[in-house]
Structure 1
Amino acid sequence: MAKNYYDITLALAAICQSARLVQQLAHEGTCAKEEMSVCLNSLLASNPVSTLAVYGNNEGNLKMGLETLLGVLNANRQGPGAELTRYALSLMVLERKLHAKKSSMQQLGERIDHLDRQLAHYELESDTIINALAGIYVDVVSPAGPRIQVVGSPAILQNAQVQAKVRALLLTGIRAAVLWQQVGGGRLQLMFSRNRLFEQAKSILAHC
């Protein structure tokens, strides 16, 4: 069966967008607000009609992720690009570990469903919800291992709210990695279909 490289590329871009936002937070203490909102909202898309629907039915919502993906596919083995590649691959590995533990996947779904009650009172980007998402990551995702080592400014990474946002964004990266698997994504594509992914990402970016 032919792979749908459009959907696969969108999901990969979403993983990369989460990774780029984590990188921004770790080094600068802040990150792009609208792009973060897109990622956080993806956690609430439980029965999407399409891959793009998870990200607001707008390719432009993943512009940062698509640009990051192009950089990752062209990355040197050192520097910021290598850091992003490591985050993206680590999210894929962690998602597979989590997927193998059915009880953890069920717990993850239940914990995200429970957010609805809090969202009746708090905004998605509020500290309360960010802390709740970080808690889900720490309790359910992180124990599946291996841990994702986030690097950046030590002073910034000691800030509790930065830590919470980083964990919430890593959770959105796991969501994107689940989607990537669902639409036919696989690690072999990153080795053998890089050109195809690169051209597809460029093509989608041209519309943004």
Structure 2
Amino acid sequence: MSHNADRNFYERTMAFAGILQALTQVQYLARHGSSDVDALGASLNTIIVTEPDNVSDIYPNKTELNKGYQLIQNQLGDGSQKDVEITRYLVGILALERKLARSSDGLAILSERINQVQRQLHHFAITDEQVVTNLASIYSDVISNLGPKIQISGNPTCLQQAMVAEKIRALLLAAMRSAVLWRQLGGKRRHLVFARKAIIDMAKQSQQQN
């Protein structure tokens, strides 16, 4: 691999870690009704970094990124760590991303709505309920209607709490942000089958460097 191809693969693996990081929080929230504020903040921040100088600027939180790299190893590895539910969410997000990519209106509206949230951040933290609610409504208005809805499994009592539902939608938007980036960097679904070992090796290597 040339240096550029290597760099691209490193960044693509980082974006894939970002998708899994967001989805694993969706799963945890749906089951337990609570979330880790640092993890939530790290995932939601990826949505609003829209003009980074490089991909690392989107994922500055190394602790959370390392969890993402571990999730890649669990999900794509041969061990018993695979989580079918996370795989289902992943397939759903990647399918919606394809629909979004073909919708010029969708992309324009998305970018306009994210700009509005960026302005809100002058006054509020990214994990503030008002900001989370706005990010959730972007997911509902722009992404959710593009294709089959992702069915979230979990504890009904948790899922019925309004704020839990809002956080889940906001995190699905974060997963979508990383999925768009992953695709822009050349990610394809078939790589997850045919280039599994290379992706796992890159995740291990990246984890050790952090």
Tell me, yes or no, whether TM beats 0.5. Answer: yes
Contact 2:11/2:185 (CA < 8 Å) preserved in 1? yes
Where in structure 2 are the equivalents of 1:110-189 lying within 5 Å? 110-189=112-191
Task: Determine whether 1:46 maps to 2:50.
Answer: yes
- Closer/same/farther in 2, CA of residues 90 and 199 from structure 1, 3 Å limit: same
State the distance in 2 between where 1:177 and 1:96 align: 9
Aligned equivalent of 2:23? 19
Structure 1 unaligned segments of length 5 or more: list them: none
8 A Cα contact 1:134 1:165, kept in partner = yes
Unaligned runs of 5+ in 2: none
What do the CA deviations read for 1:155-188 (whole angstroms, capped 9, x no partner)?
1100000000000000000000011011111111
Amino acid paired to 1:122: F
Q: Deviations over 1:15-56 (max 9, x none)?
A: 000110101100111122212111111111111111111112
Residue-pair matches, total: 206
Does 2:73 align with 1:70?
Answer: yes
> Residue in 2 aligned with 1:99?
101
What SS does the aligned partner of 2:29 have? helix
Asked if the contact 1:38/1:61 (under 8 Å) is kept, the reply is: yes
CA contact (8 A) 1:52 1:59 kept: no
TM-score between the two structures when normalised by the length of structure 2: 0.92
Output the CA distance in 2 between the equivalents of 1:154 and 1:61: 27
Kept in 2, the 8 Å contact 1:59–1:204? The answer is no
Question: What is the root-mean-square deviation of aligned Cα atoms in Å?
Answer: 1.8
Q: Deviation per CA, 1:141-166, whole angstroms, max 9, x where unpaired?
A: 10111211110001110000000000
- Stretches (4+) displaced over 3 A: 58-61
Give per-residue Cα distances to partners, 1:111-167, cap 9 Å, x unaligned.
000113322222211110000111110001101112111100011100000000000
Over residues 94-125 of structure 1, what are the superposed CA-to-partner deviations in whole Å (9 max), with x where a residue is unaligned? Answer: 11111111101100000000113322222211
Q: Provide the identity percentage.
A: 36
2:76/2:82 contact within 8 Å kept: no
Tell me which moved more, 26-35 or 193-202.
26-35
Choose which of 5, 11, 14 in structure 2 pairs with 1:10: 14
User: What is the TM-score with the length of structure 1 in the denominator?
Assistant: 0.93
SS in 1 for 2:48: coil
| Alignment check: 8 A CA contact 1:8 1:185 kept | yes
What one-letter code is carried by the residue in structure 1 that aligns with 2:67? Answer: M
